[in-house]
Chains A and B, each alone.
Chain A
Amino acid sequence: MAEEKKLFKVTIDNITIDVEPGTSILTAARMIGGDVAPPAMCYYSKLKGSGGKCRTCLVEVAAGSTADPRPMPKLVASCRTNVMDGMVVKNITSERVVDARNGVVEFLLINHPLDCPVCDQAGECHLQDLSYDHGKEGTRYEFQRRTFKKHDLGPYIQLHMTRCILCYRCVFTADQLTNKRVHGVLDRGDHAEIATYIEKSLDNDFIGNVIDVCPVGALTDKTFRFKNRVWFLKPVNAHCECTKCKGNVTLWYRGEEVFRVTARKDQWGEVEDWICNECRFEKKKTSDWIIEGPAHISRQSVISQGHYEKLVMPKETMPEVMGGRQPRLLMDIHDVSGVNRPDVDLSQLPGPAHSTDFPKQS
């Protein structure tokens, strides 16, 4: 008879939960959910070996275990520390943790260019959320921020090394999802950067997933670059028959156009299923997909400002009253406006739009 598994009792922010041995504090906290879960910039539950680099998930262990109830002297990285029976963890209830996290955010932002108005990740950026939650308003850094030589990662992926926080998620993704990894972290310390060796382009079928795992705007979709802001897009769950991946994706609509395709993300911002490059970059038409319905977006996110999820369109009363005749409009906005022209499909451009794509209007 199989012995019943012994469960560890762990208390996080005064909430007790039974978890299996070998669970990390972060995973246990995520089981409780809500504010108890520490933020994580580098840890990714779907990537083996990730975590322990960004230090944003630091927690205080007030009591190590029932056998040895001494507190741990230093704050520990919750993604890399496993629970013990009777462990008492303090996350947001500990002043030390909150203070340390503020410091970590300040360090992460030291070399960050803060070009959110330009960055395509803005609105769904974990670093942005983290710094709004924990960061300070001003910066004390007075020196030149780190800059890098530009690397071209092929036609699909745009690399902005200055925004990188060196979480190594993309390296693990490339290592674990594709059979041959051609990019990694070069150099050390302050000079460390994500790069492909001798500018080799990445041509693996699943390499597009590095875009989704990147917590900041360092790796972004070149086919979506500067096309629109994420909070003006309508996220819709869809699937397709794909031989390489499961084909479960989120389409980001603007009007009738699919501006970009991403993997579906769970409440921790992690992808549910990896998707292949073909689904991500090639299928930008509604006819390629079977629509399931609006994707759920947390109401804390700016993307939810469109309120698409529970949107009920009001009934059009005019045609009903006027015997089926549509009301005559005094002005069709498309006759006058140069923006969102129905005859110009921004989503069909292979890369960002340039001045050459906008012919001068006569």
Chain B
Amino acid sequence: MQSLTSRAKQVDRKPMTFLERIYVWEIFKGMMITLKHFFKRKATIQYPDQKREFSPVFRGLHVLNRDEEGRERCTACGLCAVACPAEAITMEAAERLPGEENLYREEKYAAKYEINMLRCIFCGLCEEACPKDAIYLSETFAPSNYQRKGLIYPKEDLLIPNPVTEPEEYKKAVGIRKKQQEKAN
């Protein structure tokens, strides 16, 4: 029969030799491996103090985007919700009233927008589906919580800081990719 993999090895069923039978030598061999790892580079880091850089394709916590004038980009078109395989996204739309033009980019906007982080699988399909550049998966982890109810994220939690009214916060929130881009320019 053709083997499935070229790395298959015949199991060695020879009786143990004297050296193997007294075990001490084998234990010593095992301890040497442990000892060798003391001097190797550590695979782990001291997490909250040290942080790893995110990969450019990392899909973390969602953010709802604003345009340069600080208006919400989302128009509640429902494409993220229909693309979502976990059915984590729900929303309710409303019509923009006169005088709200500085808040919302288009005449329709999401009055309610919710992501159920208990359901979300961070697949990024919402980001792909969005026709308005409104939803992005950021470079942060979704924080954990002791209770389920803290993991239903309303729109207010997801929106990025307004670059016009809160420029300080906005600057702080900008991800590394954009910072690197600005540095390069």
The reply on B138 being an interface residue by CB < 8 A is: no
Other-chain residue from B90, B93, B113, B131 in contact with A226 (beta carbon distance below 8 A): B93
The reply on A54 being an interface residue by CB < 8 A is: no
Residue of A nearest to B110 (CB): A339
Q: Total A-B residue pairs with C-beta atoms closer than 8 Å?
A: 85
Interface of A is mostly: loop
The reply on A118 being an interface residue by CB < 8 A is: yes
Other-chain residue from B81, B97, B112 in contact with A338 (beta carbon distance below 8 A): B112
Other-chain residue from B91, B97, B149 in contact with A339 (beta carbon distance below 8 A): B91
Beyond A337-B90, A338-B114, whether A225 also contacts B95 by CB under 8 A is yes
**Would you call B148 and A339 a contact (CB within 8 A)?**
no
Within 8 A of A (CB), among B5-50: none
Q: B133: shortest Cβ distance to chain A, in Å?
A: 11
CA distance A258 to B96 in the complex (A): 23
**Would you call B90 and A340 a contact (CB within 8 A)?**
yes
CA distance A236 to B100 in the complex (A): 36
The reply on B71 being an interface residue by CB < 8 A is: no
Interface size on B, residues (CB 8 A): 29
Beyond A118-B75, A118-B107, A231-B82, whether A355 also contacts B131 by CB under 8 A is no
Q: A196: shortest Cβ distance to chain B, in Å?
A: 21
CA distance A229 to B81 in the complex (A): 10
Residues of chain A within 8 A of B120, CB atoms compared: none
CA distance A226 to B132 in the complex (A): 17
Beyond A226-B108, A331-B148, whether A232 also contacts B93 by CB under 8 A is no
**Would you call A337 and B82 a contact (CB within 8 A)?**
no
The reply on A328 being an interface residue by CB < 8 A is: no
| Chain A 259-280: CB-based contact to B (< 8 A → 1; otherwise 0) | 0000000000000000000000
CA distance A226 to B78 in the complex (A): 11
Q: Which residues of A contact B (CB under 8 A)?
A: 115-118, 122, 225-229, 231-232, 302, 305, 330-331, 333, 335-340, 346, 351-358
Please, could you name 5 A-B residue pairs with CB atoms under 8 Å apart, sorted by A? A117-B131, A226-B95, A228-B93, A338-B112, A353-B93
In the complex, besides A333-B116, A354-B94, 8 extra interface pairs with C-beta distance below 8 angstroms are: A117-B132, A118-B77, A226-B76, A336-B148, A340-B90, A353-B94, A357-B111, A358-B92
Residues of chain B within 8 A of A356, CB atoms compared: 97
**Would you call B95 and A352 a contact (CB within 8 A)?**
yes
Other-chain residue from A115, A305, A355 in contact with B100 (beta carbon distance below 8 A): A355
Q: Which residues of B contact A (CB under 8 A)?
A: 75-79, 81-82, 90-95, 97, 100, 106-108, 111-114, 116, 131-132, 148-149, 152, 154
**Would you call B77 and A354 a contact (CB within 8 A)?**
no
**Would you call A232 and B81 a contact (CB within 8 A)?**
yes
Other-chain residue from A225, A305, A333, A358 in contact with B112 (beta carbon distance below 8 A): A358
CA distance A117 to B113 in the complex (A): 15
Residues of chain B within 8 A of A305, CB atoms compared: 82
**Would you call B78 and A353 a contact (CB within 8 A)?**
no
**Would you call B75 and A117 a contact (CB within 8 A)?**
yes
Residues of chain B within 8 A of A335, CB atoms compared: 149
**Would you call A340 and B82 a contact (CB within 8 A)?**
no
Q: B98: shortest Cβ distance to chain A, in Å?
A: 10
Residues of chain B within 8 A of A228, CB atoms compared: 78, 92-93
CA distance A226 to B110 in the complex (A): 10
**Would you call A229 and B112 a contact (CB within 8 A)?**
no
Residues of chain B within 8 A of A358, CB atoms compared: 92, 94, 111-112
Other-chain residue from B93, B106, B112, B149 in contact with A336 (beta carbon distance below 8 A): B149
Other-chain residue from A122, A330, A353 in contact with B92 (beta carbon distance below 8 A): A353
CA distance A337 to B131 in the complex (A): 25
**Would you call B95 and A122 a contact (CB within 8 A)?**
no
Other-chain residue from A117, A346, A354 in contact with B95 (beta carbon distance below 8 A): A354
**Would you call A226 and B94 a contact (CB within 8 A)?**
yes
**Would you call A118 and B112 a contact (CB within 8 A)?**
no
Other-chain residue from A229, A337, A338, A352 in contact with B77 (beta carbon distance below 8 A): A229
Q: B5: shortest Cβ distance to chain A, in Å?
A: 41
Interface centre among A118, A337, A351, A354 (most CB of B within 10 A): A118
Residues of chain A within 8 A of B93, CB atoms compared: 226-228, 352-353
Q: A148: shortest Cβ distance to chain B, in Å?
A: 15
**Would you call B148 and A330 a contact (CB within 8 A)?**
yes
**Would you call A346 and B92 a contact (CB within 8 A)?**
yes
Other-chain residue from B100, B106, B107, B114 in contact with A337 (beta carbon distance below 8 A): B114
Residue of A nearest to B76 (CB): A226
Q: A329: shortest Cβ distance to chain B, in Å?
A: 10
Q: A286: shortest Cβ distance to chain B, in Å?
A: 21
Report, nearest first, the 8 A-B pairs whose CB atoms are least far apart.
Answer: A117-B77, A229-B78, A352-B95, A353-B94, A339-B90, A226-B93, A331-B148, A336-B152
